[in-house]
Amino acid sequence: MSFSIAGKTAIVTGAANGVGLAIARHFAAHDANVVFADRDEASLANELGKEADEGNTRLFAGDLREKLTIQNLLSATIDAFDRVDILINASRQVIPSDPLKSADDAVEEMLQQNLLTSLRLSQCVARKMIKQAEEGPDDVGCVGSIINLSSIAARRANPSLLGYSISCAALDQMTRSLAVALAPNKIRVNAIAFGSVLSASLQDALKDNAEYRADIKSHTPLSRIAKPGEVAEAAQFLASEGASFMTGQVVTVDGGRTLIDPVTTPAH
């Protein structure tokens, strides 16, 4: 069983920081061609530095909520590497909201960012994958792999994350629906739902807050917070031939947190 992604071309959104950056770096280190995509051009350039636009990495800055930007991202990927094999929808937005107060704007914003942007990009990339397969040899196995980053918030009742929970639950269902729709074209669609991961935002939240860190650990059976690289390794598995018979799955990477009952778990 091979977990190799060498020679594959991947687009990773949300790649300026956190889990998206970890996945993009991990894929590049394992010899995939990687387009690091994000709205934050300054952070992209700062994180990649001299690696930008060299060898097997490229940067793309733009607001993927705009349909034209999605087309531009795909065009830039094809210009650089001739094809696209893997899409990682890692760009997410979390806006706390009070479910007893008007939260329409926050919910709408998260549905736009976390669900609709991923859907539009997935559709655009899937069409290109299908075209590539039609122009290539007939004996190709998996034509492409799409991986959505979700959250255990989709299954946990945390009222302060109303909009985020709704968007993640919708993303999980989108994953299953696209998996069935694209299966005849040999495109696999899966998701990773993760719990507490030591992203930049969580590091800031934990700074000088030992009680908060202890609270997260106490709600996680493995008693620790995941490293971003652990999510990246799960993404590599799902993108590889090792997962060739997996589609429509929401793989949970949470240290066992969803196995226990408390609903008052931390936001991260």
Separation of alpha carbons 110 and 97, rounded Å: 11
Rounded to an integer, the average pLDDT of 38-45 is: 93
Exposed (0-12), middle (13-18) or buried (19+): which is 25, by Cβ within 10 Å? buried
Separation of alpha carbons 96 and 153, rounded Å: 12
pLDDT, tens digit (0-9, with 9 covering 90-100), for 180-189: 999 999 999 9
Rounded to an integer, the average pLDDT of 220-224 is: 92
Measured from the Cβ of residue 79, the count of other Cβ atoms closer than 10 Å reads 9
Is the pLDDT at 21 greater than 60? The verdict is yes
Question: DSSP state, 14?
Answer: S
Rounded to an integer, the average pLDDT of 114-119 is: 96
* Domain positions in the chain: 9-259
Measured from the Cβ of residue 78, the count of other Cβ atoms closer than 10 Å reads 14
Of 212 and 173, the structure prediction assigns the larger pLDDT to: 173
How far out from the chain centre does Cα 110 lie?
15
Q: 163 with 101: CB under 8 angstroms?
A: no
Rounded to an integer, the average pLDDT of 17-23 is: 95
Mean pLDDT of the chain: 90
Rounded to an integer, the average pLDDT of 149-172 is: 90
Give which of 61, 117, 109 is closest to 91, Cα–Cα: 117
Q: Tell the CATH topology of 9-259.
A: Rossmann fold (3.40.50)
pLDDT, tens digit (0-9, with 9 covering 90-100), for 65-116: 999 999 999 999 999 999 999 999 999 888 877 777 766 778 888 899 999 9
pTM above 0.85, yes or no: yes
**Euclidean distance between the first and final Cα of the chain, in Å?**
34
Partnered with residue 3 across adjacent β-strands are none
Give which of 191, 181, 187, 200 is closest to 234, Cα–Cα: 191
Separation of alpha carbons 116 and 175, rounded Å: 12
Give which of 255, 124, 251, 266 is closest to 206, Cα–Cα: 266
What is the predicted pLDDT for the residue at 102? 63
What is the predicted pLDDT for the residue at 52? 66
Where do the DSSP E strands lie in 111-247?
A: 144-151, 187-194
